[in-house]
Amino acid sequence: MAALWTPSLLLSACLLGCLGLTPLTELPQPHNQPTSLGFNSSDGSLFVDVPMALRVFSVDYHHVQAPFEIVLWIMLASLAKLGFHWSGRVPAVVPESCLLIMVGLLVGGVIYGVRHSAPPTLSADAFFLFLLPPIVLDAGYFLPGRLFFENLGTILWYAVLGTLWNVLGIGLSLYGVCVLAQSSLGDVSLLHCLLFGSLIAAVDPVAVLSVFQEMHVNEQLHILVFGESLLNDAVTVVLYKLFESFLRLPSVSGLDVLLGGCRVVVVGLGGLFVGLFFGLVAALTSRFTSRAQVIAPLFVFLYSYLSYLTSEMLHLSGIMAIVTCAVTMKQYVEANVSERSNTSIQYFLKMWSSVSETLIFIFLGVSTIQDVHMWSWPFVCSTLLLCLVWRATGVLLLTAVVNKLRRNAVTFRDQFIIAYGGLRGAICFSLVFLIDDFPKKRLFITTTIVVILFTVFVQGMTIKPLVELLDVKRKKRALPTVSEEIHSRLIDLLLAGIEDVVGYWGQHYWKDKFEQFNRKYLRRFLIREDHQARSSILRVYQELERREQRGDEEAPPPLVDPRSHSRPLLPEEMDSIRRILSRNLQNFNNKQTPAYSRHTLHQDATIDKTRRPLHIQQSLGYTYNTITHWSQVMNASKHTVCSISPRPTLQDSSVPAASAQAGPVDPKSSAAREDQVSPQHQVPVGRAPKKQLSFVLENEKQQ
């Protein structure tokens, strides 16, 4: 679809023309201060010069300049994104971030060519206050909670220790390089190197997300890399500010270093608590939005943004605050708020984060076109090399330790992806601009840009082929037979089941405690009365429907075709069988689908959990007792809603306490249920039953 490139390019060119044709006079800006985004000052407006008469037609650009330019940039970003998705095979090879940076380079070059001065750069304030929060909020809201908390120890391990390792390693080695190259780099002090190390070592969530989008890794790996990139913000920010304040101090004592260590903890935990507070308040507010459903989504955004701003104000970790806020309020808000509001929230989050990300990458490209770059071969090359080396060794060492404590070991392939997928992005870029001025600041800026471009382009583009290479190499050793595949998956499931039976003390102990606390206090307080019961009944009803449908499917005896007994299977059939098995059987433990998707609303991700076929106790034959028991429960209409204690999650609620009265089995409803049992395989989760249920509930409500 290369043909569609041309119109989008043409449109972009028109937009650029508008940008370029803005009045050419601008106040000269000192280079050291980042010029703010697109805010050119101009002398006056253009008028059609008709002296002394009524102006029929006039152009007053000055009046609308600021919003107009902002809109133009956003429009450019969105059109570029559209063009990217229509461009056929390109997305498979080149990640979106690379293309966007290239567009940015192009635009920057055009602007430079037209104006002969540096194009507007990304101001740190605009980035941190406006562009970063939507992305992090989106990531936090769609974070797969259970997976995240299961791997929290590992993630923290990588984030805190790994970042420390990287920062100190890179900083010290760079200082060594500077000492070695005394002639050109002699005036870069140790503290400067450490400062630079602290900002260049941080893995960037935006870049990581955009690359992992196209790479289908399993959930666990995804959450490890992504969680690390989110949580290392605390460490990065603290170290950066620490070294910066050290630079301003006349001397640094051991006490200062110790205080710095305390600061890390304070910043991280402080951000966490701020986020928790705002999350709970948001959940509570959403409880009362039933009469003004349209503004319910607004509260989600406002509270999250407020948490971010508050923690930034207190010099705490804003990213941690907003992520915590999102994670906290999600379950309560989803229960409290109507379906449509939920969809709106999700959609808006996706939209804003998408636009934000696109803008960031484009501006990265634009800002690369600068007037003055300072280049130094040893510094730049050694930085690149050191980043890779230190990250690789850090990941290897940390994983060796952490594998002993983990249930699912982090394999070598995973380690490679973690190490190689540590992309740097716009956070480094903004941080480097905020450094106080010193002679070699330009060098730092140039190096940062080079590192970012290198990681995004080279690492971003090659990580997918490399991973496939690694996979293929291992696969060639032996193709397992079908029986082995089936059996190994069975063993996986069996072990998972046994672990569930035994009760996994390390993690689930606290999880169970939290769930109890959640159920007893938080949910009662934060979720609307009638919504508590409805959600659980709805889920149980769906579960029953599904059980019935599964029961029906197994009823017709499988027709064994005696002819097929002796027919050997063709290799194509063998391959297709293998493909089916690996695709489907892996879905339980090692999901290949990304838990977080940038471009689509993964509705399946949340609904899937309730849709998985549930085979509880079918072979034991007492299902029918349960069903009739439940039908009694359902039909004791008025009393049903109140008497069932809230059972929040599907996981805990397979058999509720026998609190229902024994009413007569209503023949009408069970007959109606039978009608809806669909005979075909491809089972939709019954939409008809849902309607019936809501009808029943509505009846109850009207009483």
Which one of residues 409, 479, 642, 688 is an interface residue with another protein (CB under 8 A)?
A: 409
Q: From the CB of 231, what's the least distance to another protein, in Å? A: 17
Residues 35 and 29 sit within 8 Å (Cβ to Cβ): yes
Q: Does 67 bind another protein (CB under 8 A)?
A: no
Q: From the CB of 682, what's the least distance to another protein, in Å? A: 7
Pick 262 or 495: Cβ nearer another protein: 495
Q: From the CB of 567, what's the least distance to another protein, in Å? A: 8
Q: From the CB of 470, what's the least distance to another protein, in Å? A: 19
Q: Which residues of 401-435 are buried (b: 16+ CB within 10 A; e: fewer)?
A: ebeeeeeeebeeebbbbbbbbbbbbbbbbbbbbeb
Distance CA 88, CA 258 (A): 55
Which one of residues 468, 529, 573, 604 is an interface residue with another protein (CB under 8 A)?
A: 573
Q: Does 575 bind another protein (CB under 8 A)?
A: no
Residues 450 and 384 sit within 8 Å (Cβ to Cβ): yes
Distance CA 247, CA 249 (A): 6
In the block, residue with structure tokens 């991700």: 605
Instruction: Return the amino acid letter for 295.
Output: I
Distance CA 119, CA 73 (A): 13
Q: Does 609 bind another protein (CB under 8 A)?
A: yes
Could you tell me how many residues of this chain bind another protein (CB under 8 A)? 75
Q: Does 10 bind another protein (CB under 8 A)?
A: no
- Nearest Cα neighbor of 427 from 144, 209, 224, 683 is 209
Which one of residues 500, 530, 575, 604 is an interface residue with another protein (CB under 8 A)?
A: 500
Subset of residues 672 to 701 that bind another protein, contact rule: CB under 8 A: 681-683
Pick 370 or 403: Cβ nearer another protein: 403
Residues 100 and 358 sit within 8 Å (Cβ to Cβ): yes
Which parts of 181-218 fold into alpha helices (H)?
A: 182-185, 190-200, 205-214
- Nearest Cα neighbor of 633 from 613, 654, 661, 656 is 661
Pick 279 or 648: Cβ nearer another protein: 648
104-143 mask for another protein (x: CB under 8 A)? Answer: ----------------------------------------
Per 3-state DSSP, the chain is made up of helix, strand and coil in percentages (nearest 5) of 70, 0, 30
Contact window for another protein (CB under 8 A) among 46-54, 79-87, 375-383, 505-513: 505-513
Q: From the CB of 539, what's the least distance to another protein, in Å? A: 11
Subset of residues 201 to 230 that bind another protein, contact rule: CB under 8 A: none
Tokens standing for 9? 């390019």
Which one of residues 486, 607, 642, 688 is an interface residue with another protein (CB under 8 A)?
A: 486
**C-alpha distances in Å from residue 339, one per residue of 105, 336, 416, 531, 534:** 42, 9, 41, 12, 13
**C-alpha distances in Å from residue 244, one per residue of 14, 199, 238, 267:** 43, 11, 10, 16
541-570 mask for another protein (x: CB under 8 A)? Answer: ------------xx--xx-xx--xx--xx-
Contact window for another protein (CB under 8 A) among 334-342, 411-419, 494-502, 534-542: 494-502
Subset of residues 461 to 480 that bind another protein, contact rule: CB under 8 A: 480
Q: Does 607 bind another protein (CB under 8 A)?
A: no
Which one of residues 53, 292, 377, 505 is an interface residue with another protein (CB under 8 A)?
A: 505
DSSP codes, 343-393: HHHHHHHHHHHHHHHHHHHHHHHHHH--S-----HHHHHHHHHHHHHHHHH
Q: Does 506 bind another protein (CB under 8 A)?
A: yes
Which one of residues 180, 294, 381, 495 is an interface residue with another protein (CB under 8 A)?
A: 495
Q: Which residues are CB-contacts of 414 (< 8 A; sequence separation ≥ 6)?
A: 220, 221, 224
Q: From the CB of 283, what's the least distance to another protein, in Å? A: 23
Residues 631 and 671 sit within 8 Å (Cβ to Cβ): no
- Nearest Cα neighbor of 18 from 107, 103, 117 is 107
Which one of residues 113, 145, 613, 667 is an interface residue with another protein (CB under 8 A)?
A: 613
Subset of residues 137 to 166 that bind another protein, contact rule: CB under 8 A: 153
Q: Does 497 bind another protein (CB under 8 A)?
A: yes
Which one of residues 615, 638, 691, 701 is an interface residue with another protein (CB under 8 A)?
A: 615
Which one of residues 287, 391, 489, 591 is an interface residue with another protein (CB under 8 A)?
A: 489
Pick 393 or 626: Cβ nearer another protein: 626
Q: Which residues are CB-contacts of 382 (< 8 A; sequence separation ≥ 6)?
A: 173, 174, 177
Distance CA 376, CA 184 (A): 8
Q: Does 481 bind another protein (CB under 8 A)?
A: yes
Q: Does 498 bind another protein (CB under 8 A)?
A: yes
Subset of residues 580 to 599 that bind another protein, contact rule: CB under 8 A: 580-581, 584-585, 587-588
Which one of residues 182, 183, 251, 483 is an interface residue with another protein (CB under 8 A)?
A: 483
Which one of residues 501, 600, 679, 702 is an interface residue with another protein (CB under 8 A)?
A: 501
Pick 50 or 616: Cβ nearer another protein: 616
Residues 296 and 488 sit within 8 Å (Cβ to Cβ): no
Residue 522, Cβ density class (10 Å: 0-12 exposed, 13-18 middle, ≥19 buried):
middle
- Nearest Cα neighbor of 301 from 254, 257, 252, 351 is 351
SS3 613: coil
Q: Does 616 bind another protein (CB under 8 A)?
A: yes
Pick 668 or 681: Cβ nearer another protein: 681
Question: DSSP secondary-structure letter at 652?
Answer: G
Q: From the CB of 623, what's the least distance to another protein, in Å? A: 9
SS3 181: coil
Residues 230 and 156 sit within 8 Å (Cβ to Cβ): no
- Nearest Cα neighbor of 178 from 544, 447, 435, 437 is 447
Subset of residues 303 to 362 that bind another protein, contact rule: CB under 8 A: none
Q: From the CB of 562, what's the least distance to another protein, in Å? A: 9
Q: From the CB of 92, what's the least distance to another protein, in Å? A: 25
Q: From the CB of 551, what's the least distance to another protein, in Å? A: 12
Q: From the CB of 161, what's the least distance to another protein, in Å? A: 15
Q: From the CB of 235, what's the least distance to another protein, in Å? A: 21
**C-alpha distances in Å from residue 418, one per residue of 135, 394, 470, 679:** 21, 10, 14, 46
Contact window for another protein (CB under 8 A) among 7-15, 215-223, 301-309, 403-411: 403-411
Subset of residues 644 to 673 that bind another protein, contact rule: CB under 8 A: 649-652, 654-655
Pick 245 or 654: Cβ nearer another protein: 654
Q: Does 254 bind another protein (CB under 8 A)?
A: no
Instruction: Return the amino acid letter for 593.
Output: T
Pick 109 or 551: Cβ nearer another protein: 551
- Nearest Cα neighbor of 261 from 240, 242, 237 is 242
Q: Look at the alpha carbons of 161, 163, 167, 170 in this order and tell me if their dihedral is positive or negative.
A: positive
Which one of residues 182, 253, 600, 619 is an interface residue with another protein (CB under 8 A)?
A: 619
